[in-house]
Structure 1
């Protein structure tokens, strides 16, 4: 009661925020005449003036009114668009580090220019993040004209740029790009071997367009850079043929679509064991015996591929590849793959080429990536439904900006049918009726399969239409831009984040681009352009008179936001419009998440075959179902983030150490400290504290010192001396090790030794970090079982991950010490012995990697592998040495220690016990 009274008197939090922003509007508007009086050169000179004032201590907030007034005037002159007052408020919201919720068609792209310009004045870089390469390139080209006029540089990050091009784009004042490209560049930068090779600058400020799509929808899946793992494609094919036969009997498995799980029943286990034995896949024991764990994994993933993933819904097959479809935007996600062998299982199911399984080399969630920015903001048409998640995960408040003109769109109640076929027939009938009036129709579907089903129905009725889905994504911008032409009918999968306005009558810019050729300004060009302008203007009046854009939803989505985005395509900038959703009891949302009693309740209300129910109660029931799904998805993302936060702390530490190593001119002191730690551990392990000399394991210590430090030391003589204790022995070992390294530096030359030490340090850190990520992946998969022992899986994961991290650092210290002690420069091997090179300069791949040659070592980059002995090397600088290294004429390698008898039982694919970081079969295993 008191809360409602307070809201009535003072407004809600959103009203109070808007009130504070509105107070600054008169100040900005008062400057407009002054800016109008300036010549172009004077307006451009304002940027340098602002930068000088910032250098003298003035704040961005103090500059805001003048900066916004400058951008508004420049926009009028360059783009022909003047910012509305509500757009100025939107710019202030973005500058304050919040999310601006603005309806579709309110000009979010233009709003961003205000905050982008103001924050770019500091010269630290501003990132504008979009959902696809097309929007990044389009916005950078369009808004780049404005920034160029104001004296600022603009860059764009899209796929297929090389490092030089990326570095130049990041060094610009403003950088446009996709969330994936920004995230992958961050991961790739932290796998480089020199600070000069890195492309990104320190993070400053980011504006995320379609912020709900990027920070909520796509946040379920982390970004992963991976390298090839063991090849098991033949096993996937064999298991797939068994599972394909198995799933024909529904009694052999149980699936839960709500939680996306599928498991074998007891009958299924018995049957699959028989079939696997018959196919010579299962040789001994039962399916769940410990030595058959790999087969269980393959069976489980194949079962999921056959029962939970559908072609043309979750993925499409194109060019002999399985390409995933974004469930929120309906776009293809080329280069994105499911992990843990699921993608290979889908490839086996579809009988396409099975690409090699991958092992994680670097990963980060979008949540943790975007939290790296000191200042973050975003904009979208629909964010309030997820306001709690934005606040909890990103500490971002959502401010709903009022529309420039009142919304007059008519939103009808949903129509519900018993079956999907009745629903689609009703949709087709309405489409036919509406299009005859000249009113354009936009139909939203949830999958390719359903868009093509409806398309077939319309074709049979002779109704012309366009289909926009992942199969025709190249025509996306053209189809969407002309979806507002009189009588046009467009069927589209998930309109979320399309980024192209549907303007009534059609899009003038798009038509000019598509229909006109020749030079701009010629009489012929101008004549055609004038014809298109007049045509679109007339079409606009016709469509407006007919009632505006009619949006039809063929199904409710799991998220209310996606429905709101579809609906929001109509009624932009005060235009008229209509929206209506059609549902059936066979829809996924109704079937999986709807109340069990909903079907019975609808039939009690009189729902019969061929008839529809329309009632506000139904809308409320559906909204409840959607809220349930949103809450469940939020919990899933939150749970994923809790576990990733554990890895994130470790990731920050490792990346920080890498940068420290790269920044150091000489890492000798770092290696000396590491060597001292290793020696202390070796000595304490064989000479326990407070023990007598006869209790010491001197032979074991001598063997380990020989193995790790490559030193033969007279331990037996030292022990006979009076007063010799663990500390004295440690000091003598350190003295001998330092002398050996000094001799090596004298032999190689100081510059070469510095280069070698830094490369060894970085490559060893990368090798152990890669192994650590694999251990954490395995730990994460099984940690949930500890709940059965009344233990909190998250706490258990934290403790185990911390222990593994400590072990990783100890392993790294010992391994790098061993490599430095044993490194030798030797002559080049023969051509037969040369290891083929298939990797780029980082030694890593991402997306779908090329096959890695047998014997190639991921832990050593090519520049390091190729470096060799040369008479002139001693006088060369490290940078010159690095540039020469790619010639491949010689090779730097660590000498192998002699094989020990107890190593002979090591599995071929296990890491070699010598600590080289290679597999046993590529190391000491090939010597025996």
Structure 2
């Protein structure tokens, strides 16, 4: 009997069906325009882009321009790439333009789909960012789809790590910019450490399309992006503590694999105290429970986590003497990423490699809060439906399942559950032999490097030739995936999420043609292509006859989405295929989530050695377990985000203030307001309202006026005058400080004074923000304990962080005022020293931001030497002591004296 929900869906259709139906009239409009756009010349396509851009900038909505823009883009893609977009790709592009996630199955052409939405949204001239999971894909897609955009008269750029500044600026100024999520996020942080608006990369956050959106916005969103500087070296402490951990027994700690948590028992704490005292790490009179022991307790806990929660070749690997993290979802190495709070150092001590100093946070942001900066956000993936609630709640993104161009012919079989891992792997090898004998390509999915290498050894023993793809073979990724669909190919892959390269039956014809051209450079390209395409067609026919790609998974992942991604590798574009999961009760997911009950069932059934249980109920039971884990992980991410949202509100204020300061030409009003506010605070503190004259602390006020305002005025005499109140004293102080600063403006020159104010404001904001971040980190680590006192940790964090932020702003005003009021014209020798100090700071900042150091700086010795700049002829009529003869150079232009230095570093400097 059908349920009410099922009957309703049959009558009204699902919400997804209704969304698909709503796009059909638009797709028909685009198709109706096709004959008109086919007739246009190549220049005609570009002229159409100019016309559409003018209409967009004049205020015409992008929704109204969509049919013409899509028709123009389809024709450009047909000419540039020989690809005519399917109607389903147009549907996907409509959903992307509307700010949704388009779920398109593997092989449905997401890369081309994105060009339509990117083109349409680039018309207003604010730039579009296309975000990918790795640099190979960013460069590949920018080069490949750049041909389409070039045919439309638009520019394309790509950003990557260690890229020269000038090139990166040019890439960001392009109409469409490709890059990785990490690089976009780090550039946003770097922008908010810059002091010149012309150096800022990201001028707008207009529209972003995120490829493999589930991988980026969910899997990677648990780790914030942090730009940091070096702290003090404490490698000896890590090594001393690392020597303690192997001495612990199971009675000394409790391990919870479900929550990935490990903590010391009371017995463990007593044992640690004795061991730490014996090594001189804990004073005799001090206990681990004392507040003074916070640091040592923190390091011991990190040492325990490093040993018990982090496994080599699963969570990380050691490469060239470095501990490199492995992404648990993609199996890729995350070079340059380090665990925070001393955990990475604890793992380095465990592995006996060089321990790099901890870092101090200079700027940080989570992916959630970075991507929520965009006016409009969209995403593409093959698997998003299982995380639809999170996308809607966190990012306001709807998920729409786009139909496939051809019906899916893949056969997804029920899971096979064995008692032991040994039986499971033996069954997999037997099944593999059968498929391999008929030439069927096989893809074996594993969850760790260790398991992929173990399976590789088993296949080598059986004499089966195969490829292995994991973090160790990261560089050969695209080639291995491209070959995985060839006749008789066997590929073992660790976590196939977000690979970005299709597995085509018979292999990738384009790569085959490129290889043939490299091998025969003198051959006729057309003849060579025809020959390779004929061979490919023959091989593809044999693979189709053998049953298409066979996907064997050796384990289920915690997330159904990752399993679906692996399944989706088979059966692209209506191809036949087969998928099956091989499981055992010893697998992590089965062991942690309810394998005892299953074990009893299997024992009752009298399962023999090598036999498997296969039933749809088992699949449903496992999916429920996975859904529970996904729900728990979502709650963890949601809680982390709530805490980060508190910091994000403050980050927006600070970064917004920095932007305003960089954009402003005259900051004297802000500097004056800050100084006047400092005077108000001093009057309130030392001459409180409604207090009598004999209660005033005039001596303290006098000392603070000299300290904070740099002026020596007769404050005590003023206060002793008959009838003088605090308002009168305040006005006199404001007048005296204004006159003091006016004299400085004359002494330095108005333009120099404005530049000084800008630099002092920016540098003070940056220093205070760094201190504030560190304070918030410490607050975040201890606020959880407030729960024991029946107080909500989040509310406590909100209240205290707001108070800390207010304190920071007060301190900021005081520092800016003090720095400006105590400013004096330096001697030539002091100027030289200041210049060297400036270069040293810039070089350090460049290293922290991952950029090349400032040109003209050598840091080989202890001192920082300024290299000789390339000299030029001085400006005609230039007189050293007469600024009126210097012309009107910009701050970043060469100095008119001919030194070769920038004006701001030479005659235009403070």
TM range (shorter): over 0.9
Query: 1:552 aligns to what SS in structure 2?
Result: strand
**DSSP-derived class of the 1:752 partner:** helix
The structural deviation recorded for 1:526 is 4.2
- Give yes or no for the alignment of 1:473 onto 2:474: yes
- Equivalent of 1:49 in 48, 51, 57: 51
Structure 1 segment 846-857 matched on structure 2, within 5 A? 846=848
Asked whether the equivalents of residues 227 and 362 of structure 2 are also in contact (C-alpha less than 8 Å), the reply is yes
1:658-697 matches, within 5 Å, as 658-697=658-697
Q: Contact (CA 8 Å) 2:891, 2:903: kept in 1 or not?
A: no
Q: Which range is displaced more, 420-429 or 396-405?
A: 420-429
Per the alignment, do residues 862 and 165 of structure 1 end up closer, same or farther by CA in structure 2, a change over 3 Å counting?
farther
In 1: Cα distance, 2:382 partner to 2:223 partner: 23
The separation in 1 between residues aligned to 2:591 and 2:342, in whole angstroms, is 29
Deviation, 1:450, is 1.0
Contact 2:195 / 2:662 at 8 angstroms: preserved in 1? Answer: yes
Q: 1:242 to 1:882 in 2, by over 3 A?
A: farther
2:290 maps to which residue? Answer: 289
Cα deviation for residue 442 of structure 1 reads: 0.4
2:127–2:177 contact (8 Å) kept in structure 1: yes
Q: Please give the alpha-carbon distance, in whole angstroms, between the structure 1 residues aligned to 2:52 and 2:904.
A: 50
SS of 1:597's equivalent in the other structure is: helix
Say whether the 8 Å CA contact 1:826–1:891 is kept in structure 2. no
Instruction: Tell me the alpha carbon deviations over residues 252-296 of structure 1, each in whole angstroms, 9 at most, x when there is no partner.
Output: 211112212111122222222222222222233122322222111
Residue 162 to residue 273, structure 1, CA distance change in 2 (3 Å): same
CA contact (8 A) 2:427 2:610 kept: no
Q: Alignment partner of 2:174: what SS? A: coil
Q: 1:222 aligns with which of 221, 224, 235?
A: 224
SS state at 1:533 partner:
helix
Q: Following the alignment from structure 1 to structure 2, what is the Cα–Cα distance between the partners of residues 96 and 11?
A: 21
The yes-or-no answer on 1:330 pairing with 2:345 is no
- Report the alpha carbon displacement of residue 850 of structure 1 after superposing the two structures with TM: 12
- Give the corresponding residue for 1:231: 233
1:159 corresponds to which residue? Answer: 161
Secondary structure, counterpart of 2:809 in structure 1: helix
Q: How does 1:123-162 map to 2 (within 5 A)?
A: 123-162=125-164
Query: Counterpart of 1:483?
Result: 484
Higher alpha-carbon deviation: 395-404 or 593-602:
593-602
CA displacement at 1:848 relative to structure 2 = 8.2
Q: Are the aligned partners of 2:702 and 2:716 in contact in 1 as well (CA < 8 Å)?
A: no
User: How does the TM-score come out when normalised to structure 1?
Assistant: 0.91
| Residue correspondences, number | 878
Question: Which runs of no fewer than 5 residues in structure 1 stay unpaired?
Answer: 894-928
1:599-748 alignment runs, 5 A limit: 599-748=599-748
Contact 2:892-2:903 at 8 Å conserved across structures: no
Structure 2: distance between partners of 1:273 and 1:532: 71
Aligned position for 1:346: 347
Residue-by-residue CA offset, 1:294-332 (whole Å, 9 max, x unaligned)? 111111111100000011101111111111111111111
Provide the residue aligned with 2:873 in structure 1.
none
Query: C-alpha offsets along residues 852-887 of structure 1, whole Å, 9 cap, x if unaligned?
Result: xxxx9xxxx999xx9xxx967897767159985799
User: In structure 2, what is the equivalent of residue 460 of structure 1?
Assistant: 461
C-alpha contact (below 8 Å) 1:101/1:384 kept by paired residues: yes
Partner residue of 2:203? 201
Shift of 1:40: 2.5
* 2:883 pairs with 1:879: no
- Taking a change above 3 Å as real, the CA distance of residues 46 and 826 of structure 1, as seen in their structure-2 partners, is same
| Residue aligned with 1:323, SS | strand
Matches of 1:260 and 1:532, distance apart in 2? 51
Contact 2:593 2:625 in 1 (8 A): yes
Q: Is the 8 A contact 2:752 2:909 kept in 1?
A: no
Of 473-482 and 790-799, the range deviating more from structure 2: 790-799
Alignment of 1:87-102 (within 5 A): 87-102=89-104
Match of 1:408 in 2: 409
Change (3 A) 1:862 1:116: farther
**1:299 aligns to what?**
300
Residue deviations 1:786-806 (CA, integer Å, cap 9, x gap): 111111111111111111110
Distance 2:851 2:537 in 1: 51
In structure 2, the residue corresponding to 1:826 is in which secondary structure? Answer: coil
Q: Look up the match of 1:903.
A: none
Cα deviation, 1:551-592, whole Å, max 9, x if unaligned, reads 011110011111000000000111010101111111111122
Deviations 1:366-413 (A, max 9, x none): 111111111111111001111111111111111101111111111111
Q: Deviations over 1:779-822 (max 9, x none)?
A: 11111111111111111111111111100100000011111111
1:196 CA drift (Å): 1.0
Deviation per CA, 1:333-379: give whole Å up to 9, x if none.
11111111111111111111211211111111111111111111111
Note closer, same or farther for the CA distance 1:581–1:4 as it changes in structure 2 (3 Å cut).
closer
* Match among 15, 20, 24 for residue 18 of structure 1: 20
Q: Which residue of 1 aligns with 2:178?
A: 176
Seen in structure 2, the aligned counterparts of structure 1 residues 265 and 891 have a Cα distance that, compared at 3 Å, is: farther
- Which residue number in structure 2 is paired with residue 562 of structure 1? 562
Change (3 A) 1:177 1:328: same
How far apart in 2 are the matches of 1:887 and 1:233?
Answer: 41
| Alpha carbons of structure 1 residues 878 and 757: separation in structure 2 relative to 1, 3 Å | farther
CA shift in 2, pair 1:871/1:225, >3 Å: farther
Q: In structure 1, the residue corresponding to 2:49 is in which secondary structure?
A: helix
1:103 to 77, 102, 105: 105
Distance 1:518 1:608 in 2: 54
The TM-score, its normalising length taken from structure 2, stands at: 0.92
SS at match of 1:281: coil
Distance 1:631 1:189, change over 3 A: same
Q: Deviations over 1:653-698 (max 9, x none)?
A: 1111111111111211111100111111111111111111111111
> What is residue 189 of structure 2 aligned with on the other side?
187
The one of 63, 74, 77 equivalent to 1:75 is 77
CA RMSD across the alignment: 2.7
Aligned positions of 1:902-913 closer than 5 A: none
Q: Quick check: 660-669 or 478-487, which moved more?
A: 660-669
Distance 2:761 2:693 in 1: 36
CA gap 1:826/1:425 in 2 versus in 1, 3 angstroms: same
Structure 1: distance between partners of 2:803 and 2:701: 25
SS of the aligned residue for 1:463 comes to coil
Q: Per the alignment, do residues 46 and 781 of structure 1 end up closer, same or farther by CA in structure 2, a change over 3 Å counting?
A: same
Contact 1:224–1:846 at 8 Å: present in 2 too? no
Match of 1:264 in 2: 264
Is the CA contact 1:360–1:773 (under 8 Å) kept in the aligned structure 2? yes
CA shift, 1:475, in A, is 0.3
Structure 2 residue aligned with 1:375: 376
**2:875 matched residue in structure 1:** none
Q: Structure 2 CA distance, aligned partners of 1:11 and 1:542?
A: 40
In the TM superposition, what whole-angstrom CA distance separates every residue of 1:111-166 from its partner, at most 9, and x where no partner exists?
Answer: 11111111122221111111110111101111111110111111111111122211
Is it true that 1:590 corresponds to 2:602 in the alignment?
A: no
**Do the aligned residues in 1 keep the contact of 2:846 with 2:852 (CA within 8 Å)?**
no
Residues 67/279 of structure 1: CA separation in 2 closer, same or farther (3 Å cut): same
Mapped to 1, the partners of 2:359 and 2:157 lie a distance apart of: 32
Equivalent residue number for residue 543 of structure 1: 543
Please tell me whether the aligned partners of residues 246 and 252 of structure 1 are also in contact (alpha carbons under 8 angstroms). no
Give the unaligned 5+ runs of structure 2.
854-858, 870-879, 896-900
Preserved CA contact (<8 Å) 2:131 2:178: yes
